[in-house]
Amino acid sequence: MIVAMLINTRAICGNTTILAGSISGQKAADALRKLTTDEILASNLNTIEGDLVRIDLSAVETVSSSFLREFLSPFFAVDGRGGDIHENIAPAFVGVSSEDLETELSEYFAGRGIAIRTSKEPEDSDYVWTGRLEKAVSESLKILDSHGPATAADLFEKYPSNCSGQTTWNNRLVTLSKLRLAARKRVARNWIYQTHSRRNI
């Protein structure tokens, strides 16, 4: 995985230390979408194996749920809109050094069954997971990470006791993709899934 992109929130939100409100979130989302799309077009983001867009919150003291909901809509669809950034690109928050900010992010993502990579320093690639996943999703993520690139058939053959059938494995892998926890590519008639970065789990 190539961690190619770092976006400082100052570049898209100004010098404010408080990120709040859905309207501000929508404007920031538009800027985030353009920057990320431009980076993909420049071929600096790996849409085949999966890549991260690191969002630097070093200058931020607090962020509201209404802002986050809109700001991350290019990755996680809101009311049927958004989710339009390539499915193999995932967000990560870096520069999360404030305990209050860490708590706000944790509560927001946990309440939505989402986990996102975070780190305390902007250049730190030693991520931790912030948020909470449903048990089945979490187990599937760990298995995929341990196994490496795989199809639903591969995982059902090796771990038949973890799912009731191949279709269940397929559904779980699709969920990992939608949650930006795994990248996928199509080879012939099969989807091959892999976690974005095995060292980060």
87 and 178 both lie in a single domain = no
CA atoms of 115 and 90, how far apart (whole Å): 11
Query: Are 145 and 191 found together in one domain?
Result: yes
The predicted structure's pLDDT at residue 19: 95
- Which residue bears the tokens 């320093």? 121
Reported as a single tens digit per residue, the pLDDT across 114-168 is: 999 999 988 877 888 999 999 999 999 999 999 999 999 999 999 988 788 899 9
Clarify whether residues 148 and 49 are in a common domain.
Answer: no
Are residues 56 and 86 part of one domain?
yes
Report d(CA 123, CA 174) in Å as an integer: 30
Q: Are 147 and 96 in the same domain? A: no
pLDDT in tens, 68-102: 999 999 999 988 888 999 999 999 999 999 899 99
CA 41 to CA 43: how far, in whole Å?
5
User: Number of structural domains, the chain?
Assistant: 2
Range of the domain at 87: 5-131
Q: Which residue, of 131, 155, 175, is where some domain finishes?
A: 131
3 state SS of 168: helix
Regarding whether 108 and 165 lie in a shared domain, the answer is no
Q: Is this structure's pTM higher than 0.75?
A: yes
Spell 75-107 as b/e; 16+ CB within 10 A means b. bbebeeebeebbbbbbbbbbbbebeebbebbbe
Tokens read off for 197: 């970065």
Based on the fold, state whether residues 102 and 147 are members of the same structural domain.
no
d(CA 59, CA 44): 26
Task: Give residues with Cβ within 8 angstroms of 84, minimum separation 6.
Answer: 33, 74
CA 52 to chain centre: 7
Residues 72 and 127 in one domain: yes
Q: Which CATH number covers residue 150?
A: 1.10.10.10
Last residue of a domain, one of 84, 100, 131: 131
DSSP annotation string for 20-56: --HHHHHHHHHHHHHHHHHHHHTT-S-TTT-EEEEEE
Domain final residue, candidates 131, 153, 183? 131
